[in-house]
Amino acid sequence: MIHAGIYYDQDSLKTKLCIRGRQLLYQLCEQQGIPYKNCGKWIVAQDEQQLNVLHKINEHSKVIDVPVSFLSKEEGKRREPDVRAEAGILESPTTGIVDSHSYMQYLHGDFEDRDGITALHSPITKIIPLRNGAGGWEIWTHSTPSPSDGKVADESCVTAETIINSAGLSAILVSNMILPAERHRTPYYAKGNYFSYSSSYPKPKTLIYPAPRPGHGGLGTHLTLDMAGRVRFGPDVEWIEDPNDYHVNDSRLSEALKEIETYLPGIDRDAVNLDYAGIRPKLGKLGAVASEKGFQDFYIVREDGFEGFVNLLGIESPGLTSSLAIAEEVEKLLYQ
């Protein structure tokens, strides 16, 4: 997803970096031929309470200067006749989708073209700041040989002037290796189950999102599209303990179907199947959108007392959209 940036607190990093990152990402995709579609999305309301949420998003979007607009019921039926929106439709024209694998391949290739080196399958065992980072950093890793080769893992050390912790699901664990105990954090993991759709009908051409629920850990089980136009539903929110648990939970399907049918009532239930799961790195069980029940922003900080250490924690959605702007933010923290 390429997010517009309309859900988050006005002065938050998520808003600032999502808007900037979206602009940079569209530009990069156009310049480098990375597949993308600026397909737009609808947020749909089924009752007055949900419509009030859409009005709040509309007013917030005006403040942060992100274009959105309400569609009439007639316009909605003309464009997407199978979508139910009893109370209202708010359209976000700058939302889109990107081939994330092609995007990551480009970034990896560009990194190596600039003499970067990637070391995969090298778990970190310890990180030692020399003179609290003023003398650089020692990052200790060990190799992970396959069980069949019978080799013992080799430990090795990489030294660096700076360290940027952008380890995703493992970022808090890495942070806790460096910071003193009183600054340790507890990681939280929100699994999102996705569901495929094998029927050719109904098949909207627009991304469809239910009105967000305050305090919910995600944006609801929405309808998304891939670059080939295939429909997929998800993600839901399932709090888990194991960050390696990518098993798609079939017990979540019935609840997902109920939510999907609120905005796509003609769906063929038998054509909805388990697909895959992803896991969001969370800093707590707070809402994914701005609300009176709390909101968790990105944590992007040059840590006090440690020279050359930038910590990136809780980089969940809209992290992909924000990624290029996050890079700019890290550069500012280190060098400006």
Task: Give the pLDDT confidence of 160-187 residue by residue, as tens digits.
Answer: 999 999 999 999 999 999 999 999 999 9
Asked whether residue 172 is assigned to any structural domain, the reply reads yes
Predicted local distance difference test score (pLDDT) of residue 50:
96
Asked whether residue 17 is assigned to any structural domain, the reply reads yes
Phi-psi region of 84 (alpha: psi -120 to 50; beta: other; left: phi over 0): beta
CA 212/CA 203 separation, integer angstroms: 22
CA 273/CA 198 separation, integer angstroms: 8
Say what the pTM is. 0.93
Do residues 207 and 42 lie in contact, with contact meaning Cβ atoms separated by under 8 Å? yes
Predicted local distance difference test score (pLDDT) of residue 114:
97
Cα Rg for the chain, rounded, in angstroms?
A: 22
Asked whether residue 305 is assigned to any structural domain, the reply reads no
Question: Which of 34-43, 51-60, 146-155 is predicted least confidently?
Answer: 146-155
Q: What is the rounded average pLDDT of the residues 17-30? A: 98
Confidence of residue 323 (pLDDT cuts 50, 70, 90): very high
Q: What is the CATH number of the domain that holds 33?
A: 3.30.9.10
Q: Cα 231 from chain centroid?
A: 19
Do residues 315 and 166 lie in contact, with contact meaning Cβ atoms separated by under 8 Å? yes
Predicted local distance difference test score (pLDDT) of residue 150:
60
Q: Cα 307 from chain centroid?
A: 29
| 245 phi, psi to nearest 5 deg | -85, 90
Other CB atoms within 10 A of residue 297 CB: 18
Q: What percent of the chain has pLDDT over 90?
A: 88
Give the DSSP letter of residue 67: -
Predicted local distance difference test score (pLDDT) of residue 213:
76
What is the extent of the structural domain holding 7? 1-113+164-296+310-336
Predicted local distance difference test score (pLDDT) of residue 153:
67
Q: Across-strand partners of 42? A: 91, 208
Query: Taking the CA of residue 225 as centre, how many other CA atoms within 13 Å lie in the half-sphere pointing to its CB?
Result: 20
CA 169/CA 178 separation, integer angstroms: 16
Asked whether residue 46 is assigned to any structural domain, the reply reads yes
State the chain's mean pLDDT as an integer: 93
Tens of pLDDT, residues 93-129: 999 999 999 999 999 999 999 999 998 888 999 999 9
Encoded tokens for 29: 């995709």
CA 234/CA 250 separation, integer angstroms: 13
Confidence of residue 292 (pLDDT cuts 50, 70, 90): low
Encoded tokens for 191: 């699994």
Predicted local distance difference test score (pLDDT) of residue 220:
81
Asked whether residue 156 is assigned to any structural domain, the reply reads no
Q: What is the rounded average pLDDT of the residues 41-60? A: 97
Predicted local distance difference test score (pLDDT) of residue 120:
87
Please name the residue ranges forming H helices in the chain: 13-32, 48-64, 73-79, 100-113, 171-178, 253-263, 319-335
Number of domains in the chain: 1
Buried b (16+ CB within 10 A) or exposed e, 39-64: bebbbbbbeeebbebbeebbebbeeb
Asked whether residue 48 is assigned to any structural domain, the reply reads yes
Q: What percent of the chain has pLDDT over 70?
A: 94
Asked whether residue 124 is assigned to any structural domain, the reply reads no
Q: Across-strand partners of 41? A: 92, 207
